[in-house]
Structures are given as structure tokens and as C-alpha cells.
């Protein structure tokens, strides 16, 4: 397959050629670029395969964090205070700066062409009392980013769902205990949970969108109010998918059943209280403790971070990819991570 970072239209053509094969019934989006191409050219793919993913307009609403938060307000879902970078802001408060758009493509950002695709830089944590340099941030992000109220918690909650034209057919929840960074990020250690309020909040948002396909809705829980505050929606399979399957939520199978008109066969019960690790993520967590500094997030001592990882590995020896029976998925995951970081410019 052509690299979408270098040739997005070539990637689309190659993906469509796979869809045209008679032994292919559908395509599963596992990256943001996958679901974008599938949504933008949905009618082309629909001629060959089942298309359980959103249309481009709905996807744009999800990828645009400004519009998404407006929709969340209509759905009664709590969100952090969020505004565009150039809007009036009290810089004495605690803020972060993040991309307005989840991906940078021609449908979202004017300076991009239809053959271009890129991922925006990671979140910036601002020091209270200092007004940031707008031009520097806009240049770094590739567009006008947003500033968002910093929610002081690292306990992230995920609501995972598969929808069929506005109706949920399978859901799952987990609580993230550690991320790739001590400030948060993708999950390296998490546990399966079942919280009615989280289910209600996640469904309210996806119902408002009349969602179709896969979604991972990310929330932070406000320590003071207990509210679940929306962070974003990932409209594809999530990085912790192996853990979801281990807990009993076999979403690839559910997706297949939906794509082949057998959604009535979906039994989406799962076991709450299980926990599991992504070892690569645990290493990244330790790396962040050693080498990274975030003004707003409290860094744990290295001894505590190392001890917590060692203890939970002993207590919960369950891993996304690592297996002595077959080490190849673990090795491949490391290579994929290296390749992704290289594209993002963090490895030269």
C-alpha cells in the first residue's frame, strides 16, 4: 500500500482495488486516515463492500473539536471550556493547546490539497500567567488550534461502541490507569468497568450524531464534580482493542456481523474488573517520567512509577501483544510504533 502521508490518493486507489476483490466483504478502519478515506469516498467503496462507517459530513463534525463540543452541549454532555486560540482568554488559568482538527486534510484545512494528509503535533501545556505566541503555535499546528481548560486528572475513561445508523449494537467501557505519558495520552494500563452514568453519557453523544460504525469516546472525570467531560471521539478501532477482546468484547467479530447483516447475533457481554497492559506503552510512560516535563501535570518519582508498573504486571499478567508462544505480534507492534514516530518527526 502507498504511504498515505506521502500519497493519499494513491492510498485510496490501492484500498479501493482491495475492496473490489470478490473475497473481501468489508474494510475495518484502524487509523484516522483509514476512516477519512473510507468516509470521503464512501460511494465508491459502497459499490464493492459493506460500509459500516460514517459519511464525510458526520466525520467532519467529529474531527472538528469546536463543532463536536457544540454538538455535545446540545446532547447535554459536559465539556471543558474550549475556544479558538485567538479568542479572549484569561491566561492566568490553566490551559492546554491542542489541534482543532484530529487530522490535517483538504476537507478541513485550506492550504492542503486532496493528495495530502498529515497528523497535527501533540498537545502543548501552557504555563499559567504567560500569554502564548499565537503565530508560533499556529505555525507548529499547521492551522489555528484551540485552547482548552486543563482538567487535573490522569484517570481517563473510554466508552467504546459499534452503532448501526443511530442505534447501538455493542458497547464497552474501560478506565485508563496509566497512559503513554504521566500527563495522559493513549492507554498503557487499563481496567474494564461498567458505570451506568458513563454509558448514558456516551450514548447521548453518539445518539445526537446519529452515529454509524465504530467509536471510542474519551472522557476525563472531574475530581470535584464527578462529571464525565468529553475530550474527543476516535471514529475507528482503538489502540487498546486487544484488551477489549480479552475482556469479552470482540468488536472485530461484532463489526463483521454488522457488515454481513447479522447484527442480531451480537452478544456484547463482557467481564468488568479485568486489567491489562501494553508493554510498549509502559516503557513510554517511564520514558516520560525520565525525560519529559509538563507544567500542569504532577510527575511521579521514578521509583514510584517503576514500582507501580512492576506491581501491576505481577497482579495482572495480561498483555495486548506480548506472548512467549508467539512473539511476532509484539515485535511487529514495536516496528509499527517506530515507523509512526518517524513519520511524526520524533525520530530522525
Distance between CA atoms of residues 244 and 214, nearest Å = 13
pLDDT at 342 over 80: no
In 3D, which of 56, 232, 266 has the Cα closest to residue 146?
232
Please give the average per-residue pLDDT across 39-64, as a whole number. Answer: 98
Q: Which ranges in the chain belong to alpha helices (H)?
A: 8-19, 32-40, 42-46, 56-63, 65-74, 134-141, 196-208, 241-246, 251-259, 279-291, 302-315, 328-343
pLDDT for 344 = 58
pLDDT for 150 = 92
Distance between CA atoms of residues 343 and 348, nearest Å = 9
Please give the average per-residue pLDDT across 253-268, as a whole number. Answer: 96
pLDDT at 343 over 80: no
Radius of gyration of the chain (CA): 20
Band (284; pLDDT cuts 50, 70, 90)? very high
Count of Cβ atoms closer than 10 Å to residue 17 Cβ: 12
Q: Which long-range contacts (CB under 8 A, 24 or more apart) does 7-15 make?
A: 7/115, 8/33, 8/37, 8/105, 8/114, 8/115, 8/116, 8/117, 9/114, 9/115, 11/37, 12/37, 12/40, 12/41, 15/45
Q: Which CATH superfamily is domain 152-348 in?
A: ATP-grasp fold, B domain (3.30.470.20)
pLDDT at 1 over 80: yes
Q: Give the residue extent of every domain in the chain.
A: 8-51, 81-149, 152-348
Band (348; pLDDT cuts 50, 70, 90)? very low
pLDDT for 152 = 81
What CA–CA distances, in Å, run from 11 to 25, 108, 115?
19, 19, 9
Please give the average per-residue pLDDT across 21-42, as a whole number. Answer: 97
Q: Which of 164-168, 284-288, 344-348 shows the lowest mean pLDDT across its residues?
A: 344-348
Band (346; pLDDT cuts 50, 70, 90)? very low
Band (347; pLDDT cuts 50, 70, 90)? very low
Residue 38 near residue 214 (C-beta atoms within 8 A)? no
Band (297; pLDDT cuts 50, 70, 90)? confident
Q: What is the pLDDT of residues 86-125, one digit of tens each?
A: 999 999 999 999 999 999 999 999 999 999 999 999 899 9
Residue 194 near residue 232 (C-beta atoms within 8 A)? no
Please give the average per-residue pLDDT across 229-237, as a whole number. Answer: 97
Residue 108 near residue 118 (C-beta atoms within 8 A)? no
pLDDT at 184 over 90: no
pTM to 2 decimal places? 0.93
Amino acid at each position: 500500500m502507498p504511504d498515505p502521508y506521502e500519497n493519499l490518493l494513491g492510498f485510496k486507489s490501492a484500498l479501493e482495488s482491495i475492496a473490489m476483490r470478490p473475497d473481501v466483504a468489508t474494510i475495518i478502519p484502524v487509523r484516522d486516515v483509514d476512516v477519512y478515506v473510507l468516509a470521503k469516498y464512501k460511494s465508491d467503496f459502497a459499490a464493492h463492500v459493506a460500509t459500516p462507517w460514517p459519511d464525510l459530513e458526520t466525520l467532519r463534525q467529529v474531527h472538528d473539536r469546536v463543532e463536536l463540543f457544540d454538538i455535545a452541549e446540545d446532547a447535554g454532555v459536559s465539556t471543558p471550556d474550549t475556544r479558538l486560540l485567538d479568542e479572549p482568554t484569561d491566561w492566568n488559568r490553566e490551559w492546554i493547546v491542542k489541534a482543532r482538527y484530529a487530522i490535517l486534510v483538504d476537507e478541513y484545512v485550506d492550504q492542503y490539497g486532496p493528495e495530502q494528509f498529515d497528523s497535527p503535533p501533540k498537545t502543548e501545556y501552557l504555563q499559567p500567567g504567560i500569554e502564548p505566541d499565537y503565530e508560533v503555535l499556529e505555525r507548529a499546528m499547521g492551522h489555528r488550534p484551540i485552547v482548552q481548560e486543563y482538567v487535573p486528572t490522569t484517570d481517563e475513561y473510554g466508552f467504546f461502541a459499534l452503532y448501526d445508523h443511530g442505534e447501538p449494537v455493542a458497547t464497552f467501557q474501560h478506565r485508563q490507569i496509566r497512559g503513554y505519558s504521566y500527563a495522559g495520552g493513549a492507554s498503557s494500563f487499563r481496567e474494564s468497568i461498567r458505570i451506568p452514568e458513563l454509558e448514558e453519557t456516551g450514548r447521548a453523544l453518539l445518539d445526537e450524531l446519529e452515529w454509524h460504525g465504530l467509536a471510542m469516546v474519551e472522557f476525563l472525570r472531574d475530581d470535584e464534580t464527578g462529571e464525565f467531560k468529553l475530550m474527543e471521539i476516535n471514529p475507528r478501532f482503538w489502540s487498546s482493542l486487544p484488551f477489549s477482546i480479552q475482556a469479552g468484547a470482540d468488536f472485530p467479530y461484532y463489526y463483521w456481523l454488522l457488515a454481513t447483516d447479522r447484527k442480531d447475533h451480537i452478544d456484547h457481554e463482557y467481564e468488568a474488573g479485568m486489567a491489562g497492559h501494553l508493554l510498549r506503552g509502559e516503557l513510554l510512560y517511564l520514558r516520560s517520567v525520565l525525560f519529559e516535563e509538563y507544567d500542569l501535570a504532577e510527575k511521579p518519582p521514578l521509583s514510584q512509577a517503576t514500582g507501580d508498573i512492576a506491581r501491576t504486571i505481577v497482579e495482572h499478567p495480561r498483555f495486548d501483544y506480548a506472548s512467549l508462544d508467539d512473539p511476532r505480534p509484539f515485535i511487529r507492534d514495536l516496528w509499527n510504533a517506530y515507523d509512526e514516530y518517524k513519520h511524526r518527526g520524533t525520530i530522525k
